[in-house]
Amino acid sequence: MKNPPTPDLLDVCREALAALNTAPRFKVPSNGISPAKDTDSYAIASRLEKAIAKAEGNK
């Protein structure tokens, strides 16, 4: 990774992950960027958790 994420960015990602895992599952429409079509909040939380682990070097 060329530019490691800043601690602030990782902190915000951890907070977003906690929020996604706390709320009841909800549907999320495709944003045109993600390879997935419509998905749900738990699927996004899973992707976010993997991205955080990768950024921290815990692939």
DSSP for 7-53, please give it.
Answer: HHHHHHHHHHHHHHHHSPP-EE---SSSSSSSEEHHHHHHHHHHHHH
The rounded distance, in Å, linking the Cα atoms of 55 and 27 is 26
pTM: 0.73
Q: In this model, does residue 11 exceed pLDDT 90? A: yes
Q: Give the per-residue pLDDT at 28.
A: 82
Q: In this model, does residue 38 exceed pLDDT 80? A: no
Q: Regarding predicted confidence, which is higher, 43 or 5?
A: 43
Summary mean pLDDT of the chain:
84
* HSE of 59, CA atoms in CB hemisphere, 13 A: 1
Q: Where does the pLDDT of residue 23 fall: very low under 50, low under 70, confident under 90, or very high at 90 and above?
A: confident
Q: In this model, does residue 1 exceed pLDDT 60? A: no
